[in-house]
Homo-oligomer: A and B are copies of this chain.
Amino acid sequence: MESAEILSEHQLKATGCRIGILDLMIESGNALSENEIREKLESSFDRTTFYRSFKTLDEHGIIHKIVVDSQVVKYELDKSITNRKQHAHFYCKVCDAVQCIDVAEIPEVVVPKHYKIYEVELVLKGKCDKCSEMKSTRVQ
């Protein structure tokens, strides 16, 4: 699925920034931060523009915001685009990398009456393989 197509399906204008973000995400297949996206994108846009684009794309369910820590925010394509099933996110506290982890299943959660759930996020925090090897590394 092409970026322009995704946008038009949602009646969103195919602007440079949105196309850039989506192309990069489709290509990378991974959760990316604003910084990573801004650095990897050939054309440059203002940070404000990125934030506004993320917000719009998120509101339309095209991407999702994954907050692993106050200052570690990633964005990821919706599974309707990637064909990936629901998964958890592993956050390495040492190198700050975020990666998707398949989970047997994320449990059905029972919330009190009249509560509505829009998103379920399972975040695992720890140390990735590379950082586990380095014995000297301290967590936190």
Q: Binary interface profile of A, 111-140, with partner B (CB < 8 Å = 1, else 0)?
A: 111111111111111111100110000011
Q: Which residues of B contact A139 (CB under 8 A)?
A: 118
A126 to B88, CA, bound (A): 18
A112 to B129, CA, bound (A): 8
Q: Which residues of B contact A127 (CB under 8 A)?
A: 115-116, 118
**A contact residues vs B (CB 8 Å cutoff):** 55, 58-59, 65, 67-71, 73, 88, 90, 93, 101, 103-129, 132-133, 139-140
Chain A's interface: helix, strand, loop or mixed, by majority? mixed
Rounded to whole Å, the gap between the CB of A69 and the closest CB of chain B is 6
Q: Which residues of B contact A125 (CB under 8 A)?
A: 117-121
A67 to B67, CA, bound (A): 7
Across the interface, do A126 and B119 meet the contact criterion of CB distance under 8 Å?
Answer: yes
Q: Which residues of B contact A132 (CB under 8 A)?
A: 114-116
Q: Which residues of B contact A116 (CB under 8 A)?
A: 126-127, 132
Select which of B107, B114, B129, B133 is within 8 A of A129 by beta carbon. Answer: B114
A117 to B91, CA, bound (A): 9
A75 to B123, CA, bound (A): 16
